[in-house]
Amino acid sequence: MSTRPTPPTEPGVPTTPSQTVGPYLHIGLPWPDGPLAVAEGTPGAVRLRGTVYDGAGAPVTDALVETWQADPDGRFDHPDDPRGARSLPGFRGFGRCPTDAAGAYEVLTLKPGPVPGPTGEQAPHVDVSVFARGMLHRVVTRLYFPDEETSNAADPVLNSIGDPAARATLVSVREEDGYRFDIRLQGEGETVFFDV
């Protein structure tokens, strides 16, 4: 038996069933500068890029990848962070990029700083959401940075994942101008997703 409350309905009017994300995300969610969490040419900017794969290992060509993160000082531009974000011209902490014909995405941003958490400081990370055809809800994961070994080793969220191979799916790979973070939705090497 479900413990979820039943949403109220008008008598005689059926509720609308859950729908998959569907094609709307490619019509209504992207915008031209969505992949730019900072403007091109911003000092210290890095590219977060990767490919989204399905359970069979094929690229997902119609997914949407969203990123949300703190600024380089570990502060969020959000009312829930009473410290407030440092004023960085053009930095919004949020990016949104549809995948292309090869299943690839890319977001230009600044590397975040460590953030306080309920059980200790969390290593620099980027929250990543993926929307795709056939999914009823987005999936949420985190991108950690390979050059933050000490912080990663102490991160309470990363360390809550007992299997080292699964934990490794959250650590990006350093590239010349940024970091690669491939996302596997199912199957072998599936990325760890969080129940949020």
Helix (H, G, I), strand (E, B) or coil at 8: coil
The amino acid present at 78, given as its one-letter code, is: H
58 pLDDT higher than 90: yes
7 pLDDT higher than 50: no
> pLDDT tier at 31 (50, 70, 90 boundaries)?
low
Q: What is the structure's pLDDT at 136?
A: 77
**Per-residue pLDDT tens over the stretch 128-175:** 999 988 787 899 999 999 999 999 999 999 999 999 999 999 999 999
Instruction: Answer whether 71's CB lies under 8 Å from 88's CB.
Output: yes
Query: Whole-angstrom Cα distance, residue 159 to residue 175?
Result: 24
Which of residues 126 and 93 earns the better pLDDT score? 126
- Hey, where are the domains in the chain? 24-184
Rounded mean pLDDT, 113-137: 90
Q: What is the structure's pLDDT at 79?
A: 59
80 pLDDT higher than 80: no
CATH placement of domain 24-184: 2.60.130.10
> pLDDT tier at 42 (50, 70, 90 boundaries)?
very high
CA nearest neighbour of 25 among 56, 68, 77, 60: 60
Instruction: For residue 4, give Cα distances in angstroms to 1, 7, 9, 121, 159.
Output: 9, 9, 15, 33, 30
Reduced 3-state DSSP string for 116-179: CCCCCCECCEEEEEEECCCCCCCEEEEEECCCCHHHHHHCCCHHHCCCHHHHHCCECEEECCEE
